[in-house]
Amino acid sequence: MIALEDALAELAAAGDPERAAAAAAYHKAQRRYLGVRLPVIGEMAQRWREGLDVASRCALADGLWQSDIHEARMAAGKLLTQARIKEDGPVWALIASWVPEFDGWAIADQACEAGGRRLVADPSRLDEVEGWTGAKLMWARRAALVVTLPWTKQNHPSQGDLAVRERVLGWAAGYADDRDWFIQKAVAWWLRDLSKHDAGRVREWLAEHGARLKPWAVREAMKHLEDGPEPAPEG
C-alpha cells in the first residue's frame, strides 16, 4: 500500500524538465508539469492499485487529483480505470466530481475512460451524465460524449445498448450547432467510431444533422465510410 506522498515523490523522480516544459506549452492549463511519459504513469498506477481496496484506491486517486499536478491527475484516472470493481459507487462519485474541474482534453479523456467503465457497469448513471450536456463548462458538455464512447464499439448491441446509443446520438444532435472546436470534434469522434460498427445509422444521422456541423467535422465523422451520407428526403 502506497501513501500519497510516496506516489507524488515517485512521479517527481521520473520527471524530465524539458519534457515538462514542452507539456506545459502544449496543454496550456496552468498547473505543475513533471514531464513523466504516459506509459510510465500507467505502470505506476497499475502497481499502486495492487493490494488497495476500493476505499483506499479512491483516497489515493482523490489525493493525486487534488495535488493539481498534470501527471498526478493522469495517474488518478488510470488508478480508477478497471472493468470490474465491486461496489463501485464511490468510484463513480469521485470521477463525476472531477468533471466540473476539467480544463483540457488529456486529463478529461483519462478520467472519462475510467468513467466509461463505470457507466457500462451501471447505465442508470447516464441520467447524471445527461445533466452534463447542459453545463456551461464546455469540457463538461464534451465529457458526456467522451465518457459514452463504449457504446460506439459494440458489434452486437442489446436492445438496451441500442437505446443508449440513440440517447447519446440525441445529445450529439443537440451539439451540432455548437461552434466550439472541441465539441465538434467530440461529435465527429463519436460518429466516426460508431461508423465502424453501424455505418448505416451514422449515414442516417449525418443526413439529418450533418449540414449543421462544420464541414471538417463531417469529413472526420465520415472517415471510415466508403460513401457519403444519404441525402435528406425532400419536402
Mark whether 122 and 24 lie in a shared domain: yes
Mark whether 117 and 25 lie in a shared domain: yes
Cell numbers for 50: 495492487
Q: How confident is the model at residue 229 (pLDDT cuts 50, 70, 90)?
A: very low
How far is residue 219's CA from residue 216's CA, in Å, rounded to a whole number? 5
Residues facing 32 on adjacent strands:
69
Residues of the domain holding 183: 148-235
Q: CATH number for the domain including 158? A: 1.25.40
- 234, pLDDT greater than 70: no
* Residues in CB range of 79: below 8 A, 6 or more apart: 45, 48, 49, 57, 60, 61, 64
Mark whether 53 and 98 lie in a shared domain: yes
What mean pLDDT is reported for the chain? 95
Mark whether 85 and 22 lie in a shared domain: yes
What letter represents residue 116's amino acid?
Answer: G
At 120-140, the pLDDT tens digits run 999 999 999 999 999 999 999
Helix intervals (H) in the chain: 4-13, 17-27, 38-49, 54-66, 70-79, 89-98, 105-121, 126-132, 138-146, 159-175, 181-195, 199-209, 215-221
Instruction: Specify the number of domains making up the chain.
Output: 2
- 23, pLDDT greater than 70: yes
At 198-222, the pLDDT tens digits run 999 999 999 999 999 999 999 999 9
Mark whether 112 and 182 lie in a shared domain: no
Among candidates 168, 207, 162, which has minimal Cα distance to 186?
A: 168
| Domain C-terminal end among 139, 159, 181 | 139
pLDDT of the residue at 235? 31
At 78-137, the pLDDT tens digits run 999 998 999 999 999 999 999 999 999 999 999 999 999 999 999 999 999 999 999 999
Mark whether 113 and 160 lie in a shared domain: no
| Domain C-terminal end among 81, 112, 139 | 139
Number of residues that make up the chain:
235
Mark whether 50 and 129 lie in a shared domain: yes
